[in-house]
Copies of this chain bind each other. A is one copy, B any other.
Amino acid sequence: MPFQDEFYKSAFSVDNVIFGFDGDNLKVLLIRRKHDPFAGYWALPGDIVEQDQDLDKGALKVLEQLTGIQNVYLEQVHTFGKVDRHPRGRVITVAYYSLINIDDVNIRPSSFADKVEWKEIRSIETLAYDHYEIMDTCLKRLRRNVKYRPIGFELLPKKFTLTELQKLYESILEKDLDKRNFRKKILSMNILQVHSELQQGVAHRPAKFYSFDAFKYEEAKENGFNFEL
């Protein structure tokens, strides 16, 4: 397999579908492009990957520059490489999604973005490049994975109520779940820690707070347990 210079003339980028949850709806963080191509269009945050930068690092950097967040759940999903997907040459892009707690975000200005906003998924119709397809692929992947891995928690504050957790699942999976069955199942997994602290100032019976317990989860997994919702 020869390696002449002629082979080294592609660019590659990462695009990151950043999911957040505001308590009611699943959202995606989008930027509005300042410059051509696709000036004025909404797009996924992404960037060219440097020569000496690992792919995952590239995706994390995009996220950190935009939101200031570190230590994020990140997952590679698919690589999009159609010949004509980018008007400025051959650019292959590796798509990731990340899950963050929406309250942790402090959006920062960016040189090539006009605006940065959380958009409700159902409201998104077109995006720059092939970004709509990328978002859709990542959304489908999230829907699958959230049923088999305990990743939903990443979208919530450290402490949350069971109703918040249920609403999260309902909005990702786009279907209603039965309250009793949901609680029974999630609690029987034994991966949540319950806190004595209660909700404050709500005009109804206050809910208990829970948090995801990674240690319990590892323990459960070792005993041949499978997260499945």
Contact = CB atoms under 8 A, between A and B. Distances in A.
Given A10-B51, A12-B92, A51-B83, 15 more contacts: A1-B35, A1-B48, A3-B88, A3-B89, A8-B9, A8-B10, A9-B9, A10-B12, A51-B90, A53-B83, A54-B83, A55-B79, A55-B92, A81-B94, A92-B94
B1 A112 contact: yes
18 contacts: A1-B35, A3-B89, A7-B48, A8-B10, A8-B89, A9-B51, A10-B11, A12-B92, A51-B83, A54-B81, A54-B82, A54-B83, A55-B79, A55-B81, A55-B92, A79-B79, A79-B94, A81-B94
Interface in A46-93: 47-49, 51-55, 76, 78-79, 81-83, 88-90, 92
Interface string A1-38: 10100011111100000000000000000000001000
A104 B54 CA distance: 39
Nearest to A55: B81
Interface residues of A, number: 29
Given A1-B112, A83-B52, A8 B90 contact: yes
A1 B47 contact: yes
Contacts of A3: 11, 88-89
Interface in A81-140: 81-83, 88-90, 92, 94, 112
A170 to B, nearest CB: 20
Most buried by B among A47, A51, A53, A82: A51
